[in-house]
Amino acid sequence: MIKWSQKKLIEQGYTIENAKIVSADISTVDHACAYLQIVLEGDGWGTVYGGYCLGRAGSYLNFDEIECSSGKGFESILKIMWTIGVDSLCCLKGEYVRVATKGWGSSVKIIGHITKNQWFDYQSFFEEEKNNVN
């Protein structure tokens, strides 16, 4: 995973903006995988942070199909909690964070603590695992 700093993000063309977490939930809405969905609101904008499959959920009707193929999904949740500075998933709601984006229309893949220089990058975190498997 890339170890970001605010300076490095800005040098790479990212814009840093503040946002508030309005909800955080683990869901299996599509019944194929479990994912963490963090809803963010900024100054005149909103988005969902997440969307990465954290474990196969199978059918909501069949308990035997649920599996966690790796600890990487759970590890990502813990790293996000650490980055933001909470010790419980339910405490994410109401927290303020910083996000790094490439501008209007780009996805938020990097989230940071509101005052500390701590960042989590979903994309590079999961790409690291993909590259280690091959």
Q: Which domain holds residue 44?
A: 6-133
Give how many domains the chain has, as a whole number.
Answer: 1
Asked which of 16-20, 29-33, 43-47, 112-116 is least confident by mean pLDDT, the reply is 29-33
Instruction: Examine residue 32 and state whether it is found in any structural domain, yes or no.
Output: yes
Cα–Cα distance for residue pair 74/16, rounded to 1 Å? 26
Residues near 34 by beta carbon (within 8 Å), at least 6 away in sequence: 26, 27, 28, 53, 54, 55, 56, 57, 73
Instruction: Examine residue 129 and state whether it is found in any structural domain, yes or no.
Output: yes
Cα–Cα distance for residue pair 12/106, rounded to 1 Å? 14
* Digit-coded pLDDT (tens) for 59-83: 555 556 556 555 788 899 999 999 9
In 28-101 the beta strands, taken as DSSP E runs, fall at 33-41, 46-50, 55-56, 96-101
Instruction: Examine residue 12 and state whether it is found in any structural domain, yes or no.
Output: yes
List the CATH number of the domain containing 67.
2.40.50
Report yes or no: 74 and 67 within 8 Å, Cβ to Cβ. no
Instruction: Examine residue 1 and state whether it is found in any structural domain, yes or no.
Output: no
Instruction: Examine residue 44 and state whether it is found in any structural domain, yes or no.
Output: yes
* Digit-coded pLDDT (tens) for 7-42: 999 999 999 999 999 999 988 776 677 889 999 999
